[in-house]
Amino acid sequence: MESTRIQGAFFFLLRCGLWGKKQSAYEKELFPLSEAEWDVLYRRANEQTVQGIVYDGLLCLEKNNLPPRQLQLKWSVQIDRIERSYHRNNSMIAQQHAFFTKRQLRPLLLKGQGVAASYRLPQHRVCGDIDWYFESRRQCTLAGLHLIKNSIPRIDAGGQVYRWADTEMDLHDRLFDFYNPFSKAVLKRYRVDFPDTTLTIAGQQVAILAPQVQIIQVTAHILKHSLAFGVGLRQFCDLAALYHSYRHLLDGARLEKLYRRIGLLRWIAPVHQFLVHELGLATEKLPFLSPPTASRMDILQDVWDSGNFGFYDEAYVQRVDGVSVARKNRTEALLRRIVRYFPYAPKEAFWFPIIHFFYQRGL
């Protein structure tokens, strides 16, 4: 692991970028960095797919503490690509939305640009693939058939992943990435109380989840990847940005009760602590407070070691090829995570291997 100095500087810039606030007192303790240290920090920002946010943090630094000129130029070029990708994804979303609605389908946009809208600078959140949710398996299947009929290639023969122009598009008929089957009824009732809303994207009124539900969806996504091979900082930044933007809409008591009923209250406590202590989310923006000693789970170490979706965990990654990764010691990695998370999210940790291995593989 790199020095705590680099890690400290990294999170300092991430907090500045997220909230646009200078922290002059702490800056003097962490900067300037050497050229080699800047190179490591830049690599880490890319591994965590938060290079746009960290770049925004540079704008809060004193001139003498900025990275070398060559790295500044390299980073600026990358930010231009991120912004272009953001606008291109907006265009693709509008096209895809029009495609589905023209065929009497009702797509709902998950994560992605809907979450980016809660950021201070949405165009600096690195875009992933485009995820569409359909209320029924029939609608999802029909959407896939229409895509195939119109020569949109399917990437995964056994799934619902397609290549639309130069973007990857995923179709889903499951809204929440929770594995415990007994949580479905509770989540369904919760969603009924908070109807979907819309977001204007490239001239299209695109359906997205209400903020109260979107927060649950993002939380489920974080836990899903935490149980699998790891999750990066971008997903935690998503949750922090959502809390910051929509705290006034959240019923903290009800949200706490929901987490308790689906068995996640012990896990959400360290998540909230991580958002405050490492990402700089104001404590008053949390929907509810957890006891500071509620958990000793070290999220920071896990996230720092694994990187985006666990792509950079040297103990379990053989090679990374673009957006795909070849893993080694897969069973060991999964068992280690299940054991680690069981005390904090026992229901999800119990059902994860059952659903993942038996149902998905048809055993």
How would you write 251-288 as a 3-class SS string? Answer: CHHHHHHHHHHCCCHHHHHHHHHHHHHCCCCCHHHCCC
Q: What is the pLDDT along the chain (363 residues), one digit of tens a residue?
A: 457 899 999 999 999 999 998 877 789 999 999 999 999 999 999 999 999 999 999 999 999 999 999 999 999 999 999 999 999 999 999 999 999 999 999 999 999 999 999 999 999 999 989 999 999 999 999 999 999 999 999 997 778 999 999 899 999 999 999 999 999 999 999 999 999 999 999 999 999 999 999 999 999 999 999 998 788 999 999 999 999 999 999 999 999 999 999 999 999 999 999 999 999 999 999 999 987 655 567 899 889 987 765 555 555 554 445 555 444 566 777 888 889 999 999 999 999 888 776 555 433
Domain extent listing, the chain:
4-67, 80-359
- The predicted model scores a pTM of 0.92
The answer to whether the beta carbons of residues 280 and 273 sit under 8 Å apart is no
- At 296 the pLDDT is 66
The answer to whether the beta carbons of residues 306 and 232 sit under 8 Å apart is yes
Give every CB contact of residue 312 below 8 A, 6+ residues apart in sequence: 47, 305, 306, 320
- At 228 the pLDDT is 85
- At 257 the pLDDT is 96
- At 293 the pLDDT is 56
CA distance 229 to 306: 8
Count Cα atoms within 13 angstroms, Cβ side, for 45: 32
CA–CA distances in Å: residue 84 to residues 36, 72, 81, 236, 272 = 29, 18, 5, 23, 32
